[in-house]
Amino acid sequence: MRTLVFPASFEQLDPIREFVGQAARDADMSETEICAVQMAVDEACSNIIEHAYHGREGEIEVTSDFRGDTLTIILRDYGDPFDPAGIPEPDLTCDLEDRRVGGLGVYLMRQLMDEVKYEQQPGAGNLLFLVKRRRGTE
């Protein structure tokens, strides 16, 4: 298990993707799986920065935990509660004018990971669990 703490700013998305990408690589995941983990974590952290901290200063604690064939990335923040489950799925069949600009990040997160779970711990911040199981080379 490895944990790194990043300042909650968009500038940190690059090093955050690097950190979880390495965790996925260490877990022997395929290139597609590594990209999926990186993108899902990017979307989750972007939401934390935007909707939990509203651009204010803060921290995102990123933990990677690999057991068996399952990589779990745990994101902890101390901003306002933001449960991705409350975000409706975007309609991907709408034409250009009716296409909603929001909701895409959460949708991608759910598509790319096997499990997305949100938990609020009183006094211990908001926790988001992003779970990806290794399927190996396809």
Partner 1 sequence: MEITTQHFKHCDLLTVKGRVDSYTAPKLVEAIEASNKKDVFKIVLDLGDLEYMSSAGFRALLVGQRACKRYNRGEIVLARVPKKIYEAFELTGFTPLFKMFDDVTAAVGSF
Chain residues in the site for partner 1 (CB under 8 A):
10-11, 13-14, 17, 35, 38-39, 42-43, 46, 49-50, 92-93, 95-97, 99, 101, 104-105, 107-108, 111-112
Q: Which is nearer to partner 1, 108 or 127 (CB)?
A: 108
* Beta-strand relationship, 70-77 and 125-133: antiparallel
Rounded to a whole number of angstroms, the minimum distance from the CB of residue 62 to partner 1 is 15
Tokens 């952290």 appear where? 45
Rounded to a whole number of angstroms, the minimum distance from the CB of residue 81 to partner 1 is 20
Tokens 């064939």 appear where? 69
Rounded to a whole number of angstroms, the minimum distance from the CB of residue 39 to partner 1 is 6
Kindly state the DSSP code that residue 131 receives in the 8-state scheme: E
Rounded to a whole number of angstroms, the minimum distance from the CB of residue 79 to partner 1 is 15
Element holding 119 (H helix, E strand):
strand 115-121
Q: Which is nearer to partner 1, 85 or 92 (CB)?
A: 92
Q: Which residues contact 31 (CB under 8 A, 6 or more apart)?
A: none
Q: Which is nearer to partner 1, 4 or 94 (CB)?
A: 94
Q: Which is nearer to partner 1, 11 or 57 (CB)?
A: 11
- Torsion on CA atoms 2, 8, 11, 16, rounded to nearest 10: 20
CB 71 within 8 A of CB 27: yes
